[in-house]
Structure 1
Amino acid sequence: MKKFKKLFAATVISLAMLVAAGCGDQPTNEDQGDADNGGGDEVVTETPGDVGDAEITLEFWNGFTGPDGEDIAKIIAEFNNLHEGEIAIRTQTMPWDNFYDQYRTVVTAGEAPDIAIMHLDSIAGYARYDLLTPLDDLAADIGLEDDDFIPEVWDAGVYEGHRYGIPLDVHPLTLFYNVDLLEAAGYSEPPTTYDELVEMSLAVQEATDGDAWGIAMPVFWPSNMIFYSSLMSHGGDSVSEDGLTPLYNTEIGYEALQKMVDLVYEHEVSPSDVQADGEVTLFRQGNSAFHINGIWMIAGFEQQDGLNFAAAPVPTFGDQEAVWAGSHNFVLPKQNDEDPERLEASMKFIQFVSENSLQWAKAGQVPATYSVLESDEFKALEHQYNASQQNFVFPPSTPFYGDAWGPTGPAVDEAMLGQLTPQEALERAAREGEENARDAAEN
């Protein structure tokens, strides 16, 4: 297993406009990534498995509305069957773009669920406003040990010296490639560097007489996840440690973004007019050799008839190996009146899922625990295992990170469309990001 370097990371859209109750009103890029798994607009409540008359029924909120919802339901059913008559988990599933508003509302009203899933980039904002229960003692009581977790994702669940999240998974950006198109161009292995990506893309376009693109670069999301990976690969910084000052508006930042733009306008290996999700469609149809997106795309690509694809680490755009990564975390919402028995039952469930997360990995995730990550069963999941062989970049534990980083989203898009130079785009983003972060901190 590669050693995971300690790098700080980013999300792509502001994790919050911190208002009144002080939490995020907007979905993060991770939210959108999950939505790509498929989704719905309804709130679904169910109790998987045979539960009987359980002594304790716990409410578990999550946003797994796509195929991943079926996988988490299987895990919950196993837990409910194992604890029949003792503990039952009842899930309430809703789209991520509604999840955080609903969460804030019920917690402030004293009607919080017992357990919830929260994206790593959102934890600090909710902890700041006392909407989460500290987990330090509870995690220790059930024997969750930090040395079994990827250190960077485990450490990222801490805010101001207290733990608020227990990681369920890691979901990094991943390179997907069309095996048949590469073979037709004379290659058996995917690119590992930017130059190799350009070289192979040109070769595919020549081998197919222009019928297929080398790569379709997204104009919209997840374009600035790719920018963040490029920025880190070039040795750049995202924001200051306190999250208040953008640090991406530098010569390194301009170069990192220019590399992406050059794939379209200089090397001409990507179309310039990609519509929203157009890059996904091109790859699904076999009309592009490479596609950079989240690991969550695995399930959808596996269901695509005639698509012979594989997954690999994202090529390094600079001199360092680094890729954006997010994580789903278990959190315990703040209760008006804490019940020790319910807290203990909640932690039993979290421990069970952590120890049995191979099923969840099959949904298109990287396990957060080494005990599963290094197992033969996980290594047999070829796409997920290949995606795990990267140096992950996680968000810092600050409530203001998304505010300072968020404006890079539209800025990167305008650069990719040729409407602004990378320098113009990042200068504007930095001005907006600093203002956003300062306003959020003051309010």
Structure 2
Amino acid sequence: MMRNEMSRRRLLGLGVGLGTAATLALAGCGGDEEPSTASGNGGKEYTGPKVDLKLWNGFTGGDGDIFKKLVETFNAEHGNIAVAVTTYQWDDYYSKLPGAVSSGAGPDIAVMHMDQLATFAARGVITELDDVATALGLTEADFAPTVWAGGLYNDKRYGIPLDMHPLGFYYNKAVMQKAGLDPEKPPTTRDDYTAALTELKKSGVQGFWVSPFQFTGGMTFYSLLHQWGGTLFDADAAKATFNSDPAVEACTWLVDMIKQGHSPANVGQDADYLAFKAGKNAFNWNGIWQVNDLKKSPDMQWGVAPLPQIGSKPAAWANSHNFTIVKQRSANADKVAGAKVFINWLSQHSLDWAAGGQVPARKAVREDAGFAALAEVNALAPELEYAAFPPAAPGIGEVLLTFYSSFNEAALGKKSPKQALDDGVAKADKQLADNRKKYGN
């Protein structure tokens, strides 16, 4: 499970560079459109001839089974639309998609993370969806503003958001209780957190293991940087800013967790989470996707809550799955119309998707009593209002890798936090400049 989970997560916040050949080939996609007999633009309905649609996604875990069941339900309800699902590991998925589209073998619908939309939009892989939002009357008011804005690139909509998956705060109730802490009152502030770690240390427990890897230490630093009031990039994503004073303070706070003995040094990949499950630490900052894994351990006493506010304001790393429609060599208006109906239908049925460990993007679904019954997932819904999403800039994922690598050097003690972040920003600025040349922005 852990190897599978790691593979499917690797690109959950990362971008994949596409070759020049693929870029040039994709620029020629979207030829003459075949005549349409479909009615009901924008996903309201489809009354044309039967269409077979290909859908690609990267849901290889338990969420994949839930997703496939939803597609089966859709197919049963729509006799003239048949959606076939193909699932890849996320790291394979994003590398396969450009070549498949340029060769005419791509899908009709693709699920993408928010931070991938700008890259694939800039390279002409996916098509605009403003008409879907207009026809269905969807506005920012129907979603959290941060999620809705994340589907835009150059003021045009390319993604219809399905969900939000944030970092959450997991706490081991049994370990807390042994240290004399109230297991039903996890720390919510910096003072509470410091006090709890002190008590845990007295009981012989290193309460908060700091991973030097993106999963999960890098994402923890990403969250704390925003809590301290910093940003990774300037407003135009033209310059890196993750070596600002707030960023250095946030990174130093995390590195000090190791120096003060609240975390071992050189924590291995996922060792923080495995230690949490084994009762060797008390607190783990990890993704919402771990909720269903923890439910498989009925004897474990655990809880989940929004991240503690360590800095001056609440913030949490987050990403979002979006539906996109892929450009074709020869566009088929019937298929496009059918794809829009599917996207709208699944967005409306995202309560069922929430059971896979995702916060629904649609406000009406989050307010449904059925979502309230999903106690652990619902516990992280408040983070939607202050989620720190990646900027909508082409190629940004590659720059984020530099950010996470900088934190890795600081957490492993190879460089001071200031030096690691300064060096990372110097490299990131060059990457951002290269991206502007590559994508023409």
TM-score range, shorter chain: 0.7 to 0.9
The equivalent residue for 1:42 is: none
Further displaced range: 397-406 or 274-283: 397-406
Does residue 135 in structure 1 map to residue 105 in structure 2?
no
SS in 1 for 2:380: helix
Does residue 332 in structure 1 map to residue 332 in structure 2?
no
SS in 1 for 2:282: strand
Equivalent of residue 73 in structure 1, options 55, 64, 68: 68
Structure 1: any 5+ residue segments left out of the alignment?
1-10, 24-53
Equivalent of residue 311 in structure 2, options 318, 342, 351: 318
Equivalent of residue 368 in structure 2, options 375, 388, 396: 375
SS in 2 for 1:319: coil
1:134-190 superposed Cα distances (whole Å, 9 cap, x missing partner): 001133224434321111111111111210001110000000001222233231311
The Cα shift of 1:406 comes to 2.6
The Cα shift of 1:321 comes to 0.6
Q: Which amino acid aligns with 1:196?
A: D
The equivalent residue for 1:3 is: none
Please show how residues 255-334 of structure 1 align to structure 2 within 5 Å: 255-266=249-260, 268-334=261-327
For residues 406 and 162 of structure 2, the distance between their equivalents in structure 1, rounded to whole angstroms, comes to 32
Cα distance change on mapping 1:21 and 1:134 into 2, 3 Å: farther
Please show how residues 78-93 of structure 1 align to structure 2 within 5 Å: 78-83=73-78, 85-93=79-87
For residues 193 and 406 of structure 1, the distance between their equivalents in structure 2, rounded to whole angstroms, comes to 29
Equivalent of residue 429 in structure 1, options 418, 424, 431: 424
The equivalent residue for 2:218 is: 224
Equivalent of residue 242 in structure 2, options 248, 265, 278: 248
Q: Is residue 173–residue 301 contact of structure 2 (8 Å, CA) maintained in 1?
A: yes
1:347-380 superposed Cα distances (whole Å, 9 cap, x missing partner): 1111111111111111111010111111111112
Q: Is residue 172–residue 303 contact of structure 2 (8 Å, CA) maintained in 1?
A: yes
Please show how residues 86-235 of structure 1 align to structure 2 within 5 Å: 86-184=80-178, 185-187=180-182, 188-206=184-202, 209-210=203-204, 212-222=205-215, 223-235=217-229
Q: Which amino acid aligns with 2:272?
A: E
The Cα shift of 1:192 comes to 0.9
The equivalent residue for 2:413 is: 418
The equivalent residue for 1:17 is: 17
Q: Which amino acid aligns with 1:306?
A: D
Q: Is residue 198–residue 263 contact of structure 1 (8 Å, CA) maintained in 2?
A: no
Cα distance change on mapping 1:189 and 1:75 into 2, 3 Å: same
Q: Which amino acid aligns with 2:433?
A: R
The Cα RMSD (Å) is: 1.8
Cα distance change on mapping 1:12 and 1:135 into 2, 3 Å: closer
The Cα shift of 1:118 comes to 0.5
Identity of aligned residues (%): 34
The Cα shift of 1:195 comes to 2.7
The equivalent residue for 1:238 is: 232
The equivalent residue for 2:3 is: none
For residues 97 and 19 of structure 1, the distance between their equivalents in structure 2, rounded to whole angstroms, comes to 15
SS in 2 for 1:60: strand
The Cα shift of 1:343 comes to 1.2
SS in 1 for 2:72: helix
Q: Is residue 174–residue 314 contact of structure 1 (8 Å, CA) maintained in 2?
A: yes
The Cα shift of 1:305 comes to 4.5
For residues 423 and 220 of structure 1, the distance between their equivalents in structure 2, rounded to whole angstroms, comes to 18
Q: Is residue 212–residue 412 contact of structure 2 (8 Å, CA) maintained in 1?
A: yes
Report the structure, 1 or 2, having the larger helix content: 2
Further displaced range: 241-250 or 417-426: 241-250
Equivalent of residue 50 in structure 2, options 52, 55, 76: 55
For residues 404 and 116 of structure 1, the distance between their equivalents in structure 2, rounded to whole angstroms, comes to 23
1:394-438 superposed Cα distances (whole Å, 9 cap, x missing partner): 122111433443312121112111221100100110011011121
Structure 2: any 5+ residue segments left out of the alignment?
1-10, 24-48
Further displaced range: 345-354 or 241-250: 241-250
Q: Is residue 63–residue 99 contact of structure 1 (8 Å, CA) maintained in 2?
A: yes
Q: Which amino acid aligns with 1:235?
A: G
The equivalent residue for 1:49 is: none
Q: Which amino acid aligns with 2:391?
A: P
Q: Is residue 121–residue 158 contact of structure 2 (8 Å, CA) maintained in 1?
A: yes
SS in 2 for 1:406: helix
SS in 1 for 2:427: helix
Paired positions, count: 398
For residues 167 and 402 of structure 1, the distance between their equivalents in structure 2, rounded to whole angstroms, comes to 19
The Cα shift of 1:21 comes to 4.9
The Cα shift of 1:241 comes to 2.5
Q: Is residue 161–residue 361 contact of structure 2 (8 Å, CA) maintained in 1?
A: yes
The equivalent residue for 1:394 is: 389
Q: Which amino acid aligns with 1:108?
A: S
The equivalent residue for 1:39 is: none
For residues 428 and 18 of structure 1, the distance between their equivalents in structure 2, rounded to whole angstroms, comes to 26
Q: Is residue 244–residue 401 contact of structure 1 (8 Å, CA) maintained in 2?
A: no
Q: Which amino acid aligns with 1:160?
A: N
The equivalent residue for 2:45 is: none
Equivalent of residue 434 in structure 2, options 436, 439, 442: 439
Cα distance change on mapping 1:305 and 1:109 into 2, 3 Å: same
Q: Is residue 317–residue 388 contact of structure 2 (8 Å, CA) maintained in 1?
A: yes
For residues 155 and 142 of structure 1, the distance between their equivalents in structure 2, rounded to whole angstroms, comes to 17
Q: Is residue 259–residue 317 contact of structure 1 (8 Å, CA) maintained in 2?
A: no
The Cα shift of 1:317 comes to 2.2
For residues 12 and 217 of structure 1, the distance between their equivalents in structure 2, rounded to whole angstroms, comes to 20
